[in-house]
């Protein structure tokens, strides 16, 4: 009984509308149908597949609804979650969009794996990794090359 794919992750948003607008406007998610939960929120997806759930921070009875995050998780960033990652395409268009919107990003490449990555932060401080496979040489967008980073010795 193996796991087959990531179903979704949940964002407890400080400003629900602003966070929804970021995922829709910057990352290209679409608003999906959502059950009538006893708290407001959104389900967002790509190509009809739901991937991101979100609800507001600071609501009454949050401890009943949000089982995986402590009370101050929305203001203390992502807790033990370092980042979430999405597969993406058309890195040039993403870089162009991020520059147009004035959103800071941190590019990285792993040339031997033909992988280019862009790291951004959502409005609640959650790091989002965008993975672009098949990029044979790092585009001239700045950034870091994993092959040139210092290695941690003695740990695998």
Token output for 8: 């979704």
Asked whether 44 and 57 are in contact (CB, 8 A), the reply is no
Asked if 38 and 4 count as a contact pair (C-beta separation under 8 A), the reply is no
Q: Does domain 77-156 have CATH number 3.30.720.110?
A: yes
Q: Where in the chain is the domain with CATH 3.30.720.110?
A: 77-156
Q: Is the pTM of this model over 0.85?
A: no
pLDDT in tens, 6-26: 778 888 888 999 999 999 999
Compute φ and ψ for 123, nearest 5 degrees: -60, -20
Residues of the chain with CATH 3.10.180.10: 1-76
pLDDT confidence of residue 90: 87
Mean pLDDT of the chain: 82
Q: Is the pLDDT of residue 81 over 70?
A: no
Q: Which CATH superfamily is domain 1-76 in?
A: 2,3-Dihydroxybiphenyl 1,2-Dioxygenase, domain 1 (3.10.180.10)
């Amino acid at each position: 009984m193996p796991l087959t794919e990531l179903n979704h992750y949940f964002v407890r948003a400080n400003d629900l509308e602003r966070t929804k607008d970021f995922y829709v406007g910057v990352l290209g998610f679409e608003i999906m149908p959502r059950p009538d939960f006893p708290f407001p929120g959104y389900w967002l997806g790509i190509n009809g597949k739901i991937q991101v759930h979100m609800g507001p921070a600071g609501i009454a009875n949050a401890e009943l609804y949000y089982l995986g995050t402590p009370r101050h998780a929305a203001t203390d960033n992502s807790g033990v979650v370092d980042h979430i990652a999405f597969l993406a395409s058309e890195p040039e268009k993403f870089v162009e969009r991020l520059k147009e919107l004035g959103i800071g990003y941190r590019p990285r490449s792993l040339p031997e794996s033909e992988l280019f990555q862009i790291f951004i932060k959502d409005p609640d401080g959650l790091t989002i990794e965008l993975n672009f496979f098949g990029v044979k040489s790092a585009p001239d967008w700045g950034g870091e090359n994993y092959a040139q980073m210092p290695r941690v010795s003695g740990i695998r």
